[in-house]
Chain A
Amino acid sequence: MVSGVAVASAAGANAAVIRAGSTSLLCVLIAVPLVLLLLLSVTRHWSYPGLWPDALQWSQWRVMLSGDRGLLDALVSSLLIAVIVAVGATTAGFLTSQRIAGHRRRGVLLMLALLPFAISPVVLGVTLNYGFIRLQLAASLWGVILAQFLFAYAYAVLLLSGFWNTRIAALSELAESIGADRFQIWWRVRLPLAAGLLGVSLFQTFLISWFDFALARLIGAGRVQTLPLLVFDYFGSGDFRLAAACGVLLVGLPLAAVLLNRRLLAWPLTAASSRV
């Protein structure tokens, strides 16, 4: 009996060691690439087979922040576009998902609304290209915004459709029965309840735009410069250090936000678990 307990606790101790060990390993695996990115952005020279750069320098960052070569412009463009897309897509997505939720032909409508998201951004960009040019939207900031909006809007619909459940409907009916008009129902009932989810949607649609490469390239046609496009250009010209610097900026913003509030990326999890 005593030995049984001893065995059990020994097994428990082993499990704890395995747990601790694998957790540490995973932490290292995640941290290394990020550290590498940072390191590359300040490298001067790093020859094979060194495991650490031969020489470091701040040149890449000086170039980035000096406003030379339009790097700051790309940053500003990216931010501007992403904010507009986020706000637009979330708003439209919120309204649309409500309409769809109450509809009889919900399935079909949902499918149509999600279409831009289901086809890859490349296919979206290729098919929209011609139309956008005729509408004078190609090679312009607004063209890229609109194209990304279409994609993000579809995603927002998907994300926000999980909000419209029986509870919300019941509360809305309750509000209506005590005399609230449509505006008040939205403003005082639905919006406050959805605040958290809307925040998540804003963040994620922001990310969709912030990270977008295909649409910015296809629709922007070289006139619109964003951070992901810069990373690609620098990668193509073999200048990995500058590519890494752009990458740090690209990753830094969302990383900071997520580490501060992990719930920003929480959506699909709550949706999945609320399908009870």
Chain B
Amino acid sequence: MIEMPRLLSAAALTVLLLACSPSSDDSTVDPRSLDWPEIVKAARGETVYFVMWTGDPAINRYMREFVVPHLHKRHGITLEIVPGQADIPSMLMTEIEAGQTVSSMDMVWINGQVFYQLRQIDALYGPFTSKLPNDLFVDWDNPMIAIDFQQRVNGYESPWGNVQLLLITDTERVAHLPRTPRALAEWIHAHPGRFTIDSEFTGLSFLKSLMYAFADSPQELQGSFDRNVYNKLKNRVFEWVRGVRADLWREGRTFPKDVSQLHQLFANGEVDFTMSFNDGEVDNKVAVGLFPKTARAYALKTGTLQNTHYLGIVARSAHKPAAMVVANFLISPEAQLEKLKPEVWGDGTVLAMERLPAPWRSRFRNVPGRSRAPERDALQLFARPEPAPQYMIRLDEDFRNEIVRQ
């Protein structure tokens, strides 16, 4: 066809465009070579894009009404919130593959096994935490903080908050709280259609907690991933699930998509249980009138997962000094205290009380306690650390294939 030469040139142009890498727009000096005052100065006037989960209005409000204005006023930094969570590794991977030298994200909220994925593709900047002045207060001695899903943090992410998975129920409808898997199963059989789990992070974490319950010893789930242990425990957990499936909500034919939906079901009175990775959530939700006043949270005697969530700085961020200032603020006693308040967020602090100056220590102690969930110290007995990330990845796939699809 006459169009041939045009076609070829067009093709060549396209290939050329695709092949050439974007110009190196690297104006980033490694902030670790600067002192802190210089970093703060470099951060002024910058905009930081922070990718975080925006599924909880309370958390969003904390960021919007406390964090963002403070950063702006004190440091002249504009913090922009970008919704995202599980897709963060995917987004960053796309950028890396495309040879992009400057990322569109600066900071990320690392929740769950995302840390593992991000380290795998080398997407995180670090180690940087020792550079932050407020890092002195962080409770690095606590293994739950220093180790993320069985992987040493090594300064590649800064701890932000600490949570434990709890079951939430309405004490008016549920007289005796089932505290073991067996008791729970009995309750489910006695009350068909009133219990379910979501098929995302929270529900899967509940199943992982059950793994601890069915393990021969808690140590089995520590350390690196063990395929045999996984298969053995997975089968036991799935056996439990299959045992109660017929009496689950909607006869177990379908599961709520995520924890927000599960909360809705609970709030509507369709189910009598929900669960949350935010142990302060129940107070929070009762305060806004979403959950009934008689709602209570509790942990299984066999243990539930406790984990820390973190802040990471993207390796290819163009605003690293500003990101560091933001991270520093978020772990400041001031920000951590505000976050701890049940009516704000109720998220546990990662700061070590003994390292704080005295006035701060008493302020933390005097935060109105949670009235509807056990205190942190009481929960510690039932806290279990997160197993290696492969457990989550495999469990997600197997749950989808072996349970949801049947």
Chain A interface residues (CB < 8 Å from chain B) = 45, 48, 69, 105, 129-131, 133-136, 138-139, 221-223, 233, 236-239
Contacts and interface: CB of A to CB of B under 8 A. Distances in A.
B30 interface: no
B95 A133 contact: yes
B43 interface: no
A130 B260 contact: no
Interface in B25-74: 49, 51, 54-57, 60, 64
A237 B54 contact: yes
Contact of A133 (B1, B49, B100, B105): B100
A139 B260 contact: no
27 contacts: A45-B289, A48-B268, A69-B64, A129-B94, A130-B94, A130-B98, A133-B94, A133-B100, A134-B17, A134-B98, A134-B100, A135-B17, A138-B95, A139-B104, A222-B51, A222-B84, A223-B49, A223-B82, A223-B104, A236-B54, A236-B55, A236-B260, A237-B60, A238-B55, A238-B57, A238-B264, A239-B57
A164 B105 CA distance: 48
A136 B22 contact: yes
Contacts of B91: 221-222
Nearest to A223: B104
Chain A at the B interface: SS class: loop
B36 to A, nearest CB: 29
B54 A131 contact: no
Contact of A222 (B1, B82, B260): B82
Contact of A237 (B1, B55, B98): B55
Contacts of A222: 49, 51, 82-84, 91, 104-105
Contacts of B64: 69
Interface string B134-154: 000000000000000000000
Contacts of A105: 1
Given A133-B100, A222-B91, 17 more contacts: A48-B269, A130-B97, A133-B98, A134-B20, A135-B17, A135-B18, A136-B22, A138-B100, A222-B105, A223-B49, A223-B82, A223-B104, A233-B54, A237-B56, A237-B60, A238-B260, A238-B263
A230 B268 CA distance: 25
A223 B83 CA distance: 10
A151 B20 CA distance: 25
Interface residues of B, number: 32
A255 to B, nearest CB: 28
A133 B96 CA distance: 10
Contacts of A221: 91, 104
Contacts of B260: 236-238
Interface string B257-281: 0001001100011000000000000
B99 A134 contact: yes
A131 to B, nearest CB: 6
Nearest to B25: A136
Contacts of A136: 22, 100
A135 B20 CA distance: 8
Of B17, B60, B94, most buried by chain A (CB within 10 Å of CB) is B94
Contacts of A134: 17-18, 20-22, 98-100
Contacts of B22: 134-136
B79 to A, nearest CB: 13
Per CB-CB distance, the 3 closest pairs between chain A and chain B, nearest first, are A133-B98, A139-B104, A222-B82
A28 B361 CA distance: 62
A223 B80 CA distance: 9
Of B17, B97, B104, most buried by chain A (CB within 10 Å of CB) is B104
B83 A233 contact: yes
B82 A131 contact: no
Contacts of B17: 134-135
Interface in B78-94: 82-84, 91, 94
Contacts of A139: 104
A246 to B, nearest CB: 14
Contacts of A135: 17-18, 22
Nearest to B268: A48
B170 to A, nearest CB: 15
A69 to B, nearest CB: 7
Nearest to B257: A236
Contacts of B21: 134
A249 B352 CA distance: 48
Contacts of B60: 237
A258 B165 CA distance: 51
Contacts of B99: 134
Contacts of A138: 94-95, 98, 100, 104
Contacts of B105: 222
A34 to B, nearest CB: 24
Nearest to A131: B18
Contacts of A48: 268-269
A48 B292 CA distance: 13
A17 to B, nearest CB: 41
B22 to A, nearest CB: 5
Contact of B57 (A133, A223, A237): A237
